[in-house]
Amino acid sequence: MANNVVPSSGVDSAGAELKLTANEFRQISDLAYQRFGLDLKRGKEALVAARLGKKLRKLGFATFAEYHRHILADTTGDALIELIDALTTNHTSFLRERAHFEFLARAANEEFREVSPLRVWSAACSSGEEPYSIAMCLAQALAKSPRRDFRILATDISTRVLDTARRGVYPVARFDDVPEPLRRAYLLRGRGESDGFYKVKPELGKRIEFDRFNLIDPFSGRGLFHVIFCRNVMMYFDKPTQQDIVQRLSVCLERGGYLFVGHSESLTGVQHALHYVRPATYRNQKPEGDRNSGDEKSGR
């Protein structure tokens, strides 16, 4: 970049166009990588300028350097969370990548049929659609086994999306892909001022623990899980970070447990000890006599 600047998508409060210099981009990308593992490669300058430019104008900063200093000076950590919220896309939906939920329901009643409680971790759970989908799936799958139970840990780095997740209230349109029997069984339809919204029933929500967690932080104290969902988040990390996270997730899996990644993601080039089962599905060391898992085909 000959001029070491990248134009943003707007203007500041004085009407001047905001510019992101090469040094400012490096400061922001280094901070995002060090604190969150977020890999902002060269070529992302325009995206960073556009998304953070809105934040600068809102806060009244004239330069990205001022905004960077503001983040470093904020002892609450809120400014860092706002940074990650601005730079990442919290796109999710109920029963997204449905094949994973069909697989989970089958596994709950086959290889995990003697397990109670079944423990699931929804890592990078965003605004809650994924853990609530897991809960609906398991509640339905175990409906004929009242003595069996399940528990879900749902974590995300963003306090903002976790607040939404804990409320468990969503517009009706968000449930277009949820079959009517599941809606009747596990959702409450809003009335009056809440018309046009569904709320997840409390008896389902109580099986989910929401907690803020950064995937590049140590996993100690999380325990072991039979299933881990870590979907559509690997794309934000470089290969070394992906490998570190996948290896540590593997340690958190029970023997025979499953890891789901996003269908648009691949563990190719990532060293890990998991067995490839099918696209976006991997298994920890399988129990003796279990031939369900195929040979590792990607990532070894």
Show the DSSP H helices in 37-125 as ranges: 45-59, 64-73, 78-87, 98-109
- Name the one residue in this structure whose structure tokens are 């139970």: 149
Give CA–CA dist 12/20, Å, rounded. Answer: 12
Annotated catalytic residue, options 156, 222, 231, 283: 156
Q: Is 140 exposed, middle or buried (0-12, 13-18, 19+ CB in 10 A)?
A: middle
176 noted as active-site residue = no
3-state secondary structure of 230: coil
The CA–CA distances, whole Å, from 232 to 31, 97, 104 equal 22, 11, 18
b/e per residue, 3-38, with b = 16+ CB within 10 A?
Answer: eebbebeeebeeeeebbbbeebbebbbebbbebbbb
Quote the longest CA-to-CA distance of the chain.
70
51 is catalytic: yes
Tokens of 61: 């900063």
Active-site residues, by number, are 51, 156
